[in-house]
Amino acid sequence: MLHFARWTVLLVIAICLAGILATVPNFFSKQEAESWPSWLPHRQLVLGLDLQGGSHILLGVDVAAVINERLDALRDDVRQTLRDDRIGYTGLAVHDEAVQVRIRDAAQVEAAEEALRDLSQPIGSILTGTSARDVSIEAEGDGLIVLRLTEEGIQQRVNSAVEQSIEIVRRRIDELGTTEPTIQRQGADRILVQVPGLDDPARLKALIGQTAKLSFRMVDLSMPANEALNSRPPPESELLYTQDDPAIPYLIEKRVMVSGEDLVDAQPGFDQRTNEPIVTFRFNSSGARRFAVATQQNVGRPFAIILDNEVISAPVIREPILGGSGQISGNFLIEEANDLAILLRAGALPAPLTILEERTVGPGLGADSIEAGKIASIIGTVAVVIFMIAVYGLFGIFANISLFINITLVIGILSVLGATLTLPGIAGIVLTVGMAVDANVLIYERIREEQRAGKSAIASIDSGYRRALGTIMDANITTFIAAVILFYLGSGPIRGFAITLAIGIVTTVFTAYLVNRLIVSEWVRMRRPSVVPI
């Protein structure tokens, strides 16, 4: 046990040096560390949001809305298909997560089924070779045809909605100019947004919480809006309200002239005459063409600009708008105009996002936590160091050297992995300090015992290490299991704690069993002791 092969010695020393080297960048500022030559490690510990301050926002994609929208589109497609093929039908409706339609003429059911089959698309590429389709079509007798979204079809829709939402959220947040936001997918339908250094996320939430579906539609003048309030609005129109207080109702055609998808640019600006904040926009060529045609046909009539089912403004078309650009004025504040331009540029979310969880730590609390963590670690470590020397003397010093290397390795590994240091993570390091010496304690107590049993100094040390090894492994593997489970099932800061705990266990076994043993064996070689001073 006290003999080391040359290569083991070199390996142990190399690992310790690498650990120290990886820790060094943390003592310099970020700029300094980044200016070092590339062969030097320059990664630093990333501070968690609970330490540097910032916002953690968990968003959920509204899966029900994704499905409903898909069903509505499918219903419209069915109507179009049957009309095109001149097949008579009744009772076309979305019902129980499916589109139902009844074909009038029993002889045409087969033809209808055939025509509708085109609405079902295969899922995935040819490469994956799956035969799944996104819609299943079944004739249920009596002329009834039911189109259901398949499990795979729904999954695909939700998946692309989440991906698309992440992209749009990223574009919106980038516009805010905050530093290093992270936006990542979590689970099937969640998006996690983390923005450091933000102490009031109200504006951020307003920006990502809005679907921003923009459409330009004609105002329906066939009946006054107030009359539609009391009776039923015409089937091709709906009642929408302004944001004012009290809200003013407008009767708006369901048919969309041009939608936000056709926008290529939007910028905040000021109206030249009234000097009030506005948003100017530009359409792409097809949008511009449609807008030109629609405005040419409807000079003198009002149209409405609708954002997320609210009427922003309803101006009268004075002359055809042919250039493909225009402006939106709606009694905006400057910041509102600014945000609306951001939203329009970034595009609409495919489905509404809901904020499921929010955790924001102000910069003051973060700084206090770092300070408290530092003080607690130093005091805890010093107390343990003193205690070990008091109990084990020289061997306590040996243990403390391994403890120092242990902590260095933990910080070094955390830095290299780019792991995030959280407040519970600091607690994990301090706890590692407390438990790290356990391995040494096990060995030393064993050496004491062996020596009491009458063995020579060298034999006691040798069997002390040998016998303690199994115990150290068993004891640490059990804790390691707990740490791994904590990592997989935990979230956020708790994960940080689990990572430091797990790394701490590995480095503890390494330092107690190799580093400490190496030191002791060197000492034995130099001193040739007859008694172990322990």
Partner 1 sequence: MILLRLVPQETHIGFMRLRRMTLPLSAALAVLSIALFFVVGLNFGIDFKGGSLIEVQTKESPANIVDLRNRIGTLGLGDVQIQEFGAPDEVLIRVVEQEGGELAQQAVIAKVRAELGDSVEYRRVEIVGPTVSAELARSGTIAVLVAIFAILVYIWFRFEWQYAIGAVVATVHDVVLTIGLFAVLQLDFNLSSIAAILTIVGYSLNDTVVVYDRIRENTRRFRKMPFADLLDLSVNQTLSRTIMTSLTTLLALFALYLFGGEVIRSFVFAMIWGVLVGTYSSIYIAAPVLLYLGANRDGGAASKAAAAAEGT
Enumerate residues 180-239 that contact partner 1 by CB under 8 A: 199-200, 202, 205
Q: Is 423 in the site for partner 1 (CB under 8 A)?
A: yes
Task: Write out the two tokens for 68.
Answer: 């409903």
Number of H helices, E strands in the chain: 15, 19
Please tell me the distance from the alpha carbon of residue 224 to that of residue 226, in angstroms, as a whole number: 5
Q: Is 506 in the site for partner 1 (CB under 8 A)?
A: no
Please tell me the distance from the alpha carbon of residue 172 to that of residue 354, in angstroms, as a whole number: 16
Write out the binding residues for partner 1, residues 444-463 only, by CB under 8 A.
445, 448-449, 452
Number of residues that bind partner 1 (CB under 8 A): 79
Residue 360 C-beta: closest distance to partner 1, Å: 4
385 and 403 in contact (C-beta within 8 Å)?
A: yes
Per residue, what are the HEC states of 268-299? EEECCCCCCEEEEEEECHHHHHHHHHHHHHCC
Q: What DSSP assignment string belongs to 97-128?
A: TEEEEEESSGGGHHHHHHHHHTTPPBPS-TTT
Selected binder of partner 1 within 123, 248, 256, 486 (CB under 8 A): 486
Closer of 91 and 533 to partner 1 (Cβ): 533
Q: Which single residue is written with the structure tokens 């059990």? A: 478
* DSSP secondary structure letter of residue 59: E
Selected binder of partner 1 within 151, 478, 525, 527 (CB under 8 A): 478
Closer of 285 and 491 to partner 1 (Cβ): 491
End-to-end CA separation in angstroms for the chain:
18
Write out the binding residues for partner 1, residues 26-55 only, by CB under 8 A.
50
Pick the closest to residue 63 from 190, 151, 165, 158 (CA basis): 158
Amino acid, single-letter form, for residue 191: I
Closer of 88 and 362 to partner 1 (Cβ): 362
Q: Is 91 in the site for partner 1 (CB under 8 A)?
A: no
Residue 201 C-beta: closest distance to partner 1, Å: 8
* Stretch of 17-25, 148-156, 310-318, 482-490 contacting partner 1, by CB under 8 A: 482-490
Closer of 144 and 355 to partner 1 (Cβ): 355
Residue 208 C-beta: closest distance to partner 1, Å: 12
Q: Is 245 in the site for partner 1 (CB under 8 A)?
A: no
Write out the binding residues for partner 1, residues 305-324 only, by CB under 8 A.
none
Closer of 163 and 449 to partner 1 (Cβ): 449
449: buried, middle or exposed (CB in 10 Å: 19+, 13-18, 0-12)?
Answer: middle
Amino acid, single-letter form, for residue 41: P
Residue 330 backbone phi and psi in degrees, to 5: -155, 45
Task: Write out the two tokens for 1.
Answer: 């046990």
Task: Write out the two tokens for 50.
Answer: 């609970």
Kindly give, in sequence order, each residue whose CB lies less than 8 Å from that of residue 370, ignoring residues fewer than 6 positions away: 47, 51
Selected binder of partner 1 within 226, 285, 296, 491 (CB under 8 A): 491
Please tell me the distance from the alpha carbon of residue 487 to that of residue 495, in angstroms, as a whole number: 5
Query: Cα–Cα distances in Å, from 201 out to 65, 193, 339, 492?
Result: 25, 11, 14, 18
Residue 466 C-beta: closest distance to partner 1, Å: 8
Q: Does an H or E element contain 495, and which?
A: helix 493-510
Please tell me the distance from the alpha carbon of residue 129 to that of residue 139, in angstroms, as a whole number: 27
Residue 449 C-beta: closest distance to partner 1, Å: 7
Write out the binding residues for partner 1, residues 100-119 only, by CB under 8 A.
none
Please tell me the distance from the alpha carbon of residue 212 to that of residue 101, in angstroms, as a whole number: 32
Selected binder of partner 1 within 283, 497, 510, 513 (CB under 8 A): 497
Write out the binding residues for partner 1, residues 362-401 only, by CB under 8 A.
362, 364-365, 368-369, 372-373, 375-377, 379-381, 383-384, 387-388, 390-394
Closer of 76 and 200 to partner 1 (Cβ): 200
Selected binder of partner 1 within 208, 427, 512, 518 (CB under 8 A): 427
Q: Is 490 in the site for partner 1 (CB under 8 A)?
A: yes
Selected binder of partner 1 within 261, 482, 525, 527 (CB under 8 A): 482
316, β-bridge pairs:
302
Residue 305 C-beta: closest distance to partner 1, Å: 25
Task: Write out the two tokens for 366.
Answer: 């973060």
* Stretch of 30-38, 63-71, 242-250, 478-486 contacting partner 1, by CB under 8 A: 478-486
Write out the binding residues for partner 1, residues 125-164 only, by CB under 8 A.
none
* Stretch of 39-47, 95-103, 339-347, 431-439 contacting partner 1, by CB under 8 A: 431-439
Closer of 271 and 358 to partner 1 (Cβ): 358
Q: Map residue 244 onto helix, strand or coil.
A: coil
CA angle 418, 420, 425 (to 5 degrees): 130
Closer of 333 and 378 to partner 1 (Cβ): 378
Residue 102 C-beta: closest distance to partner 1, Å: 36
439 and 524 in contact (C-beta within 8 Å)?
A: no
Selected binder of partner 1 within 82, 304, 349, 501 (CB under 8 A): 501
